[in-house]
Amino acid sequence: MAKKKSKFVCQECGYESAKWMGKCPACHQWNTLVEEVVSKDPSRHVFQADSGSGSKKPEKITAIHSEKEPRITTNMPELNRVLGGGIVPGSLVLIGGDPGIGKSTLLLQVSSQLADKGMPVLYISGEESARQTKLRADRLSINSEELYVLPETNLVEVVNQIESIEPKFVVIDSIQTIYREEVTSAPGSVSQVRECTSELMRVAKSKGIPIFIVGHVTKEGSIAGPRLLEHMVDAVLYFEGEQHHTFRILRGVKNRFGSTHEMGIFEMKEKGLEEVDNPSEIFLEERSQGAAGSTIVASMEGTRPVLVEIQALISPTTFGNPRRMATGLDHNRVPLLMAVLEKRVGLLLQNQDAYLKVAGGVKLDEPAIDLAVAISIASSFRNQASKADDVVVGEVGLTGEIRRVARIEQRIQEAAKLGFKRVIIPQKNLDGWTPPANINVIGVNTVQEALNVTLGER
């Protein structure tokens, strides 16, 4: 009898090796290589052309007719925003997030909304029985006639039911539980996830059915399985938020049919997820008035301006090396901005611990928040509060200059709508537009000028 050939595949990045190794040479993770038997069936690796279409020939791009894809809109404008205007027929969308964050709840609510419109929807539950799914549906007050639930993990049965029911929308919860019998590895392995996703992509493209698949995340927060999974799908959405907070944020990190910088905000309640129409007002409702170290910044999440509070606590260190901790923003920018304040402004921060946080559980990563972070640090260090009706926007350079930012008009309009009186922005952003009449816009060139405006002369 011929000896079976096997290979070792990293379950984190998909690296393949002929022998087992304790540490993956690609992603440098320990104990992630798992043995998988190599299939000897050559037909599984041969591309099968569509029998009725014949061979396709190259076409000139000028001869190809482009048509705008009709989108399926849900009753959740926040989800439509992240997807670029709605669900595109034939698209394959991957949703990842921590356990218990609300992925299944969100997709079950979307399935119910589409089913209420008369569209047959197939919900594949690989982790729960039909009775368990029904209990969640009862809690969410879901009772749609066109919503079909199938507790199945065999990919062949899933595809057969899709061809039988011919749904307009399919949910796979989750892709790590689906398996293909021809693949010898366990469900959730790299090979199973890759093969099952490839087959689902073929079904979605050939039949024009949008398929949403749920993906588990690793300890580092990335979707479990190889990065190839994210390359195969049309859109990748991350559902994030802290379990101790009721707010949930849906971010798009890849979207072939829209922007990748959009953000949708939901609130988890007893009856399911509800949209947050004005997130800026929600994030600022518990703000302490007159507290040192608090600054409001107007950040852009895609095309939406969001006003959030940045808090800083500066205290003398008791260690040889001062601590620099940040929650909700890039911790590498904290020592950088503190170095600029020490060198360009003269604040002695080398013996101070620094703790920074973005209130509300939001994560900010754009450079336009630099000036707000710097003012929060200086405000806490001087124990001097900035004005409660000030909003600060600007990128800080290493020489202490304030650099221009994008979409300044939308940021200022959001600040004026919430009743703020002043906005401190880069001087270069004042050119080419007219500020609103009900808010005072002040342009600054350096960090020192911004501190003089917000905290006064010192």
Per-residue DSSP letters for 283-351? Answer: HHTTPPTT-TTEEEEEEEETTEEEEEEEEEEEEE-SSSS--EEEESS-TTHHHHHHHHIIIII----TT
Domain-ending residue, one of 259, 277, 295 = 277
Domain assignment present for 330: yes
Q: Does 257 lie in the same domain as 290?
A: no
Same domain membership, residue 314 and residue 196: no
What number is the average pLDDT over the span 42-59? 53
Residues 298 and 254 in one domain: no
User: What pTM did the predictor assign?
Assistant: 0.76
Q: Is 100 annotated as a binding residue?
A: yes
DSSP letters, 238-268, are EEE--TTSSEEEEEEEEETTS-SS-EEEEEE
Claim to verify: residue 157 and residue 233 sit in the same structural domain: yes
CATH code, 263: 3.40.50.300
Q: State yes or no: 104 annotated in a binding site.
A: yes
Model confidence over 142-156: pLDDT tens digits? Answer: 989 999 999 999 999
Cis peptide before 111 (omega within 30 of 0): no
pLDDT at position 380 over 90: yes
Known binder of ligand: residue 101? Answer: yes
Q: Which of 246, 277, 308 is the last residue of a domain?
A: 277
Q: Which residue in 203, 189, 178, 166 sits closest to 92, CA to CA? A: 203
Check pLDDT > 80 for residue 119: yes
- Give the Cα separation of 265 and 240 in Å (integer): 10
Backbone phi and psi for residue 358, each to the nearest 5 degrees, phi listed first: -95, 115
Contact present, 111 and 145 (Cβ < 8 Å): no
- Measured CA distances, 145 to 28, 113, 116, 162 (Å): 50, 11, 8, 17
Residue 24 domain-assigned? Answer: yes
Q: Is 178 annotated as a binding residue?
A: no
Mean predicted lDDT score pLDDT of the chain: 87
For residues 95-117, average pLDDT: 91
What is the torsional sign of CA 360, 358, 103, 217?
Answer: negative
d(CA 140, CA 233): 29
Beta bridge partners of 45: none
**326 and 447 assigned to the same domain:** yes
Residues 309 and 413 in one domain: yes
Q: What is the dihedral of CA 74, 76, 77, 78, to 10 degrees?
A: -130
Contact partners, residue 308, CB within 8 Å, separation at least 6: 280, 283, 284, 296, 297, 299, 358, 359, 360, 362, 364
The encoded tokens of residue 419 equal: 């009743």
| Whole-angstrom distance, CA of residue 169 vs CA of residue 82 | 18
Residues 397-427 pLDDT 10s: 999 999 999 999 999 999 998 889 999 999 9
Domain membership of residue 12 as a residue range: 6-38
What was the pLDDT predicted at 49?
39
Residue 374's CATH number = 3.30.230.10
Q: What is the pLDDT of residues 339-370, one digit of tens each?
A: 999 999 999 999 999 999 998 778 888 999 99
98 is in an annotated binding site: yes
Residue 334 and residue 224 in one domain? no
- Give domain status of residue 131, yes or no: yes
Average pLDDT over residues 281-299: 86
Helix, strand or coil, per DSSP, at residue 69: coil
411's enclosing H/E stretch is: helix 408-417
pLDDT at 226 over 70: no
H helices, E strands: number in the chain: 11, 21
Distance (Å, whole) CA 84 – CA 237:
12
Cα–Cα dist 121/171, whole Å: 8
Integer angstrom CA distances of residue 66 from 61, 62, 63, 259? 10, 10, 9, 19
- In this structure, is residue 322 part of a structural domain? yes
Enumerate the H helices of 72-212 as residue ranges: 77-83, 103-116, 130-139, 155-165, 190-207
Does one domain contain both 20 and 92? no
Instruction: Show which of 245, 260, 277 is a domain's final residue.
Output: 277
Tell me the torsion sign for CA atoms 412, 413, 416, 417.
negative
Q: Is 103 annotated as a binding residue?
A: yes
Q: How many domains does the chain have?
A: 3
pLDDT tens for 382-394 read 999 998 899 999 9
Residues 301 and 237 grouped into a single domain: no
434 found inside a domain: yes
Q: Which long-range contacts (CB under 8 A, 24 or more apart) does 414-418 make?
A: 414/280, 414/298, 414/305, 414/306, 414/307, 415/296, 415/298, 415/307, 415/391, 415/439, 418/280, 418/281, 418/284, 418/307
- What is the average pLDDT across 4-26? 84
Does residue 171 lie in a domain region?
Answer: yes
Give the model's confidence band at 43: pLDDT under 50 very low, under 70 low, under 90 confident, else very high: very low
Q: Is 51 a member of any domain?
A: no
Cα distance between residue 363 and residue 253, in whole Å: 14
The model's confidence at residue 46, banded by pLDDT at 50, 70 and 90, is: very low
The pLDDT, as a whole number, for residue 188 is: 82
256 plus 297 within the same structural domain: no
Q: What is the arithmetic mean of pLDDT over 160-183? A: 92
Q: Are residues 310 and 272 in the same domain?
A: no
Among 129, 90, 89, 83, smallest CA distance to 106 is for 83
Task: Decide: 360 and 326 in contact? Cβ < 8 Å.
Answer: no
Residue 323 neighbours by CB distance under 10 Å: 12
CB 103 within 8 A of CB 95: yes
CB 427 within 8 A of CB 445: yes
Whether 301 and 262 map to the same domain: the answer is: no
227 pLDDT band, cuts 50/70/90, is: low
Which one, of 298, 315, 322, lies nearest residue 393 by Cα?
298
To the question of whether residue 43 is assigned a binding role by annotation, the answer is no
Q: Is residue 45 part of a domain?
A: no
With pLDDT > 90 as the criterion, what percentage of the chain qualifies? 54
